[in-house]
Amino acid sequence: MSLSLVKANGSGSCSASRRFRCREGERKPARSLWLCTLVVSFALVFPFPATSSDEGPVLDEGLGRFLERFAQPALIPITERVSLAFAFDLANVVVIEGDDGVILIDTGWKVELAREIRAAIAEKTDKPIVAIIYSHGHLDHTGGVRAFVPPEREGEVEIYASEHWRRYQVERVSSRLPHIAHRLVAQAGLLLQGSEAIGMAAGPVRRHGKTISYIPPTTTLGDYTELVIAGVKMEIFYAPSELDDELIVWLPEEKVLYAADVLTDVSPFAATPRFEEGRSVDGLIQAIEMMMELPAEHLLPGHSLPLAGSQKIHNFLQANRDANQYLRDQTIRQLAQNRTREEAAAAVKLPPHLADNPDLQERYHRVSWVVRGLYTKLGGGWYGGDPLEMLRLSPQDEATRMIALAGGYGATLDRSATALASGDLVWAAQLAGYVVTAGSGEVPEIARARQLRARAFRALASESPSTNEHNYLLTDVLNLEGVMDVNATVPGLLGGLVSSDMYSLVPTEDLLRDMGPRLDSERSQDVVMTLGLSFPDREEECGLIVRRGVIQYLPERPEKADVRARLSRATLDAVMSGQARWSDLLTAGRVKVSGGEASRADFQRFVSYFDF
């Protein structure tokens, strides 16, 4: 792969084949972008039909211009030692050329794309990679590591991370993974096809490549660390913020500051619709304040173009800091005034001097989403302040009653069509949604309701300034138009989200205690059964009980068990990650069950109550 170096403020032409059109004004058509996501290294080219015309989707003009930056990957020179690998993958990679080796900060998401970065580095220097710093544990910053550290070099390359790295890696393989995957697939638009697959404001979502990797850190760092690697001096600050293991890296001799994911040139993301346990708005504010104390002449965010010039950097940091502070304070103010969650989301808006800042536009999350998330995190909880939330009718019951109030299915849809024609898009979608929720395949109007709701969502997506909102809306259109059943599709993709070696980081007890959500409580409602487990490679023995739809973990070998099995932890990890099936492992002898065929049948019956 041949890449020319470009200046830090340079831009390249797009190489994709489809185009998108802007809602406002006339300009040169820009090529559409194949983009990748925050979590889904299983981003393959899915064999589903495109859902838009060849002319391409209509996009908000500002959003279209914003996405052009990701058209051409480039290794951007920052200083003589430092370069930024930009737009190769969802996240940036910092490349530092030392005296006798190369240091990387982060590795990108997918191994195949990281290899392109490695090839670009090789055109610049033949020095070996000697160290990698994980700025934090998100997949888009760690998943490409095997491109730089193949198995034969493992142990030769030092890998640094925060001493708090493990919590998030365990969360990645917890029972919450399917829910996280559903939200992230929608947010990134990974199931969208053709020109509707615009990707994310966080970076390009490139569809080739599917391999993710992870190597645990060899050295962990505390609150503040001074290092000299290959002759390069650096200071590393622990800054729990966007994630609770975040590190900020300062190169004092280069005057280069790597901000990781503390901020980028979009509106604040202090809270998200999918809820980030490890994210802290106070941490974000404090991390930015810490960066403002450093005399940086170059600022490298984890997901956007570099900034140069101390005054420009100061203004950028100040605006981001103030925007986060404002949303935090005004959300708490709404809580103090006993406002409901939705009242707070409607009331809290950035003041004009921040809302109009070109580096704080709603390209990623919407401000109202952040306020809802902060409301929940900062004291509001799930209760929005309206007592009816505690007594609410079921969605289907409420929809049925609203339809009756409107005069029936046909009248409700006529009102929806009128709202759609007048541009009242949210109301049009909501009215059609009542019929979709209350109806069934036998209701004649259901097809019309789905069509109206899909049309409203398409129109809303076309005028949205946010990639995430665009993708959430059009992913639901896939369901409405019958292109695919999204809920049924996502579980089949989980095997590509994490590799089985990720599960090896989780203690056996934690892994088995988290099995409860996998249990089919209805099928096991009348079952009482005990399984004894032995892991000789870890010298561990324990047990699991299924008791009428509930599990119980036994930390020691059960005295009485209906069936006992012996296996390695790697075998358990392969099943948990979706890489192997119990029946195949039994046949291959990787799971040994005490007793004869009856015991093997009992084992298969026990595991059949769980979703693997």
Domains defined for the chain, CATH in brackets: 390-490 (1.25.40.880), 507-608 (3.30.1050.10)
Q: What integer is the mean pLDDT of 484-496?
A: 81
**What pLDDT score does 135 carry?**
98
pLDDT digits (tens, 9 = 90+) for 289-318: 999 999 999 999 999 999 999 999 999 999
pLDDT digits (tens, 9 = 90+) for 123-136: 999 999 999 999 99
Is a pLDDT exceeding 90 seen at residue 539?
A: yes
Residue 293 backbone zone (phi > 0: left; psi -120 to 50: alpha; other: beta): alpha
- Distance of alpha carbon 498 from alpha carbon 407, whole angstroms: 50
| Strand bridging mode 158-162 / 129-133 | parallel
Length of the chain: 612
pLDDT digits (tens, 9 = 90+) for 425-444: 999 999 999 999 998 767 88
Q: Are 110 and 144 within 8 A, CB to CB?
A: yes
- Distance of alpha carbon 8 from alpha carbon 81, whole angstroms: 14
Residue among 386, 374, 377 nearest 345 (CA): 374
Residue with tokens 């930024």: 84
pLDDT digits (tens, 9 = 90+) for 363-392: 999 999 999 999 999 987 888 788 888 899
3-state DSSP of 186-220:
HHHCCCCCHHHCCCECCECCCCCCCCCCCCCCCEE
Please enumerate in sequence order all residues whose Cβ is within 8 A of that of 552, keeping only pairs 6 or more positions apart, or say none.
544, 545
Dihedral pair phi/psi, residue 204, rounded to 5°? -75, 145
Residue among 212, 229, 221 nearest 145 (CA): 212
Residue among 365, 357, 374, 279 nearest 323 (CA): 357
**What pLDDT score does 42 carry?**
35
pLDDT digits (tens, 9 = 90+) for 177-218: 888 889 888 999 989 988 899 989 999 887 677 888 899 999
What type of residue sits at position 435? V
